[in-house]
Structure formats: C-alpha cells, structure tokens
C-alpha cells in the first residue's frame, strides 16, 4: 500500500523548492547589490606605528573564534557546547546528502537509468518521482539506498556517519533545551572583571524554537530510518527536510548561506587591523 506521505510529497516538493528558490535569489540579490558598493577603505597608508597585517589564516581564525572564546563560552557554556556538537554533526550530515545527490548524478552520467523503489523495496525500478528521489537521498543511511549510492562503500558510509548523527542529536538537544527555557542570549556567568555579576535572563524566540524543533525531528527521523524500525519514516524525514529548505531564506537559517560572506568581511577587518 502506498505511504500516505508520497502523494503529499509529489505536490509539496516542487512548490516548496520554488518558493525557497525565489527567497534565496531575492536575498542573495539584495546582498550582492549592497556588496557592489563597498565602503571599505582599508588601513590608512600614513598611519604611524601601524600594526602589521595579519595573514588570512590567522584573520579567519580570529574572526570566528574571538567572539566565541571572548563572550559566548564565558556567558553560556551550555548552548556553546550544543552549537559546536550540533554544527559538527549537521554540517557532515548535510554534506552526506549533497554527496548522495552527486553520486546519483554520477550514476546517471555512467548510463545507469534505474533507481531503487523505496516504497516497494525493489532494487531496480524506473520510479523517478519526487518522493522516491527524496527517499533515496534523505535515506542514504538505510541499506537499500546506501548500496545503490555508494556500492561497496555503503557499509563504511553507514558506520562512519553514525557518530556525527549522534553528535547532531546531542548538540541539538542542548540548543532545544535552551530555547524551551527562553535562555537564548542569556549571560549566566561572569564574562570578565568589568562585567562581574552582570546577568541577563535571555529571550524567548518562537522562530528559533520552531526551527530547532524541526531540526530535532529531522535528526530523530534520520535515526529511525537508519534503524529501519518504523516503516516509511524516511518520507516524513524527507518532508521535514524540504520544509527546512523552504524556511531557509525566510528565517535565521539563511546564515548557513551567508556565513562565508560574513566570515570573509569579518576576517578582512581583522586582517586590516580594524580590530586590534
């Protein structure tokens, strides 16, 4: 019997991807317009006793690590721990999805014109529906999908990626716990001597809680699909994944795309010694 989410995915997927594509193009376009009019003069050429420029590696490291080590770790170590483990896991998992998509394209390039049918469990089929393609990519940790995608390396892929899934679960649990308590941005400890005994309760943001909960559900459905103990859970996993793509340009998730640009300009400020 056809899974109830299959017809839903057939309609939801193209609509969600189209809306997400529009949002991404709009936001990237507006940022590109701002960046086309730079106002970054660089260090004054006649500055006395000017500090030497930093190399790019040092500048990038300082841009990323300085605010974390200087403020976040001291202010709220619980959420920092969660963020580190979560990003370690979720970035690797996302890279696994991207690799799966590339491997599927590689199969097609080699002339392989069949794919497994996840709904029936058949290893060879011509089911190129949205729901089936998503079930193959999102379910890359299951035996049938991984053997199609990675061949003799399927077992290695499943084993190697288990620790990062657990890392994402652990980190996201801490983040979810923080947002449930309304502790986002809270200062729970002394930052330095000048800010001794200064505390802030933090804030509750519904958008952060909802996105974190969706990601939490994505991780759990990933685990359940890998264990293959809930029939068809991969389709719910796919729905949640498509939902995150839909929300990407319209929520704080956009930082995933904007991070390289932000990191570049922050590192450039460090390199030019705008930041001492």
Query: What whole-number distance in Å separates Cα of residue 18 and Cα of residue 10?
Result: 13
What three-state secondary structure class fits 115?
Answer: strand
What tokens appear for 86 in the block? 């979560």
The model's pTM is 0.86
Interval 186-195: pLDDT, tens: 887 788 787 7
Query: What whole-number distance in Å separates Cα of residue 125 and Cα of residue 135?
Result: 14
Interval 162-172: pLDDT, tens: 999 999 999 99
What tokens appear for 261 in the block? 């640009």
Query: What whole-number distance in Å separates Cα of residue 98 and Cα of residue 80?
Result: 26
**Could you say which residues of the chain have pLDDT below 70?**
1, 35-50, 274-276
What three-state secondary structure class fits 180?
Answer: helix
CB 51 within 8 A of CB 276: yes
Note the pLDDT of residue 52: 77
Note the pLDDT of residue 272: 77
Query: What whole-number distance in Å separates Cα of residue 127 and Cα of residue 4?
Result: 17
Interval 188-237: pLDDT, tens: 778 878 778 888 887 888 888 999 999 999 999 999 999 988 889 999 99
Note the pLDDT of residue 37: 67
Provide CB contacts within 8 A for 211, sequence distance 6+.
244, 247, 251, 252, 253
Query: What whole-number distance in Å separates Cα of residue 174 and Cα of residue 215?
Result: 13
């Amino acid at each position: 019997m056809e899974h109830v989410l299959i017809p839903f995915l057939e309609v939801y997927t193209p609509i969600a991807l189209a809306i997400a594509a529009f949002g991404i193009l709009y936001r990237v376009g507006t940022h590109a317009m701002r960046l086309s009019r730079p106002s970054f003069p660089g260090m004054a050429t006649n500055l006395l006793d000017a500090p030497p420029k930093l190399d790019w590696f040092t500048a990038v490291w300082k841009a990323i690590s300085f605010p974390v080590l200087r403020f976040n770790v001291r202010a709220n170590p619980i959420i920092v721990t969660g963020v580190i483990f979560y990003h370690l896991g979720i970035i690797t998992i996302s890279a696994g999805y991207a690799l799966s998509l590339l491997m599927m394209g590689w199969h097609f390039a080699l002339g392989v014109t069949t794919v497994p049918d996840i709904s029936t469990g058949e290893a060879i089929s011509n089911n190129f529906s949205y729901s089936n393609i998503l079930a193959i990519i999102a379910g890359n940790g299951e035996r049938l999908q991984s053997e199609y995608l990675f061949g003799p390396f399927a077992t290695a892929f499943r084993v190697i990626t288990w620790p990062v899934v657990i890392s994402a679960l652990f980190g996201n649990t801490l983040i979810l716990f923080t947002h449930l308590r309304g502790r986002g941005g809270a200062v729970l400890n002394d930052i330095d001597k000048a800010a001794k005994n200064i505390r802030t309760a933090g804030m509750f943001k519904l958008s952060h809680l909802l996105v974190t909960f969706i990601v939490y559900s994505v991780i759990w459905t990933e685990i359940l699909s890998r264990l293959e103990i809930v029939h068809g859970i991969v389709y719910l996993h796919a729905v949640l994944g498509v939902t995150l793509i839909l929300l990407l340009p319209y929520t704080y998730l956009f930082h995933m795309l904007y991070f390289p640009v932000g990191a570049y300009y922050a590192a450039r400020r460090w390199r030019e010694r705008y930041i001492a």
